[in-house]
Amino acid sequence: MKTPMLKTIGLLAGTAAMALHPAAAMAAPISEEQAAALLSKLESLEREVADLKAQLGTVRQDQQLSTSAIAATDAKVAATEEKLAQQQPARIAFKGAPEIKAEDGWSFKPRGRILIDAGTVNAPDSIVDAGLGFASEARRVRLGASGTIPGGFGYKLEADFAGNDVELTDAFFTYEHGGLTLTAGQHNNFQGLEELSSSNDTSFIERAGYTDAFGFERRVGLSAQYGLSDLLFQAGLFTSNSGDLNNDENNAVGFDIRAVAMPKFGAVQTHFGASYHYRDLGDAIPSRRYRQRPAVHFTDTRFIDTGTIGNAESETSYGLEAALIAGRFHAAAETHWLKLNRTGALADPTFFGGSVEAGLFLTDDRRGYKDGIFKGVKVSNPVGAGGIGAWQVNVRYDRLDLNDAGFTGGSQNGYQASLIWTPVDYVRFLLSYSKLDYGNAAILAAGSGDYDVDTVAGRFQISF
């Protein structure tokens, strides 16, 4: 290709020289054969130029086609990505159990817990009771599921299989919008900090004595919760527990309100709360009974017991609560008064319960807290990752007084200590000791209602 082009250029250069110097041209005329050769070369050059133009046109056409193809491919890729985004597969996370979440707002998580207790109750030798001594039990064996539904809706269903029986615990439907949460179904009413904190996260094997003695439990109802900055307001209208629907309390109805302030000062979390409760026991005029076990559940023995109190119309109660979490240290205190309102001029007793506790982590961990209740610890150095888990010690004073208005159910002063080891999240081992000082106890020891009882108990727990 280069040789013809060079010859052509040389020819053109010669022709140009003749044009510029006609004298030289006149001096060197060309023959017909040279002219013919020159014409042939010019025609060849024109053909080459025409071929180059054709090739250039082809290249430009191919480039346009390539650009169009690229644009079409980009459009197809964008459409495919959009379609994939709309059909994004569900994500699976692990929070003690697999939690499935879809992009459109659906989620599903199985839930459950296994709490196995064993221990001993030691009372004066003069008390002959089959419930004393060593015992063990599956305290809680729960299984259920919870999740969310597009539009701000959610659900939770859980049943307890402990005690060779099936008992529905939580069964409710929720709607959330902003700071407002509406709940319908069986769920906890707003009794207080100790009761609302999950049994997975309490500092002792059993909650403070007044919680069971006063009949705190889940009930069927409709409630609302509203959170605003460091404030939380809760209120609900409740009927009976779903397990009570066949007894004489099936027409009982009540309402509960609770307010919590939870300001945080630097890294220090504080909690201040108050609650009020009223329950109309219904037209059947049922009887009521208030009693409590000795700081463990694996015995049915109740050393304090009011016995049956008849002609009951309603219950009115209120509580106060406070708590503090500062690094490894936590403290909590709660009191509750319950008044039984009876028909006519009959005496209306008021019973009291309360507790004060403090705890300290020996490891670099702290007690969890969220939305007005205690939560579990997130282990900073779990076993299996080079750590020793979270270690925590706690002490508590637990007071329950069932003496008033001529009713002598007895009093209980509990002095308690516990050691908790959480090797990894969702697994705990608890060891608890309680010295219970009874006065006017319902069960006499050598003719006296004043004596001490010791309990030692351990628990293995796994939750998800």
pLDDT digits (tens, 9 = 90+) for 368-402: 999 999 999 999 999 999 999 999 999 999 999 99
Strand partners, 148: 154
Concatenated DSSP letters for 430-454?
EEEEEEEEEES-SS-BTTBS-EEEE
Give Cα separations from 342 to 132, 135, 281, 349 (angstroms): 35, 38, 10, 9
Residues in contact with 268: Cβ distance below 8 Å, sequence separation at least 6, in sequence order: 324, 325, 326
Q: What is the pLDDT of residues 43-63, one digit of tens each?
A: 777 777 777 777 777 766 666
* pLDDT on residue 61: 66
Per-residue burial over 106-133, b if 16 or more Cβ lie within 10 Å, else e, is: ebebebbbbbbbbbbbebeeebeeeebe
Fold of 91-463: Porin (2.40.160)
* pLDDT on residue 84: 57
- Give 358: exposed, middle or buried? Use CB within 10 Å, 0-12, 13-18, 19+: middle
Q: Closest by alpha carbon to 428, among 437, 436, 419?
A: 419
pLDDT-flagged residues of the chain (< 50):
1-27, 245-249
The ranges assigned to domains in the chain are: 2-86, 91-463
* pLDDT on residue 428: 98
* pLDDT on residue 2: 42
258, 173 Cβ separation under 8 angstroms = no
DSSP designation for 163: G
For residue 60, the tally of other CB atoms under 10 A from its CB is 10
Q: What's the CA gap between 184 and 311, in Å, rounded?
A: 31
Is the CA virtual torsion 218, 233, 227, 336 positive or negative? negative
Locate tokens 């050393």: which residue?
303
- Give 320: exposed, middle or buried? Use CB within 10 Å, 0-12, 13-18, 19+: middle
Locate tokens 């705890």: which residue?
359
Q: What is the pTM of this model?
A: 0.80
CA atoms within 13 A on the CB side of 116: 3
Q: What's the CA gap between 14 and 34, in Å, rounded?
A: 13
* pLDDT on residue 1: 44
* pLDDT on residue 11: 46
* pLDDT on residue 25: 42
- What radius of gyration do the chain's Cα atoms show? 42
Residues in contact with 269: Cβ distance below 8 Å, sequence separation at least 6, in sequence order: 262, 324, 325, 326, 369
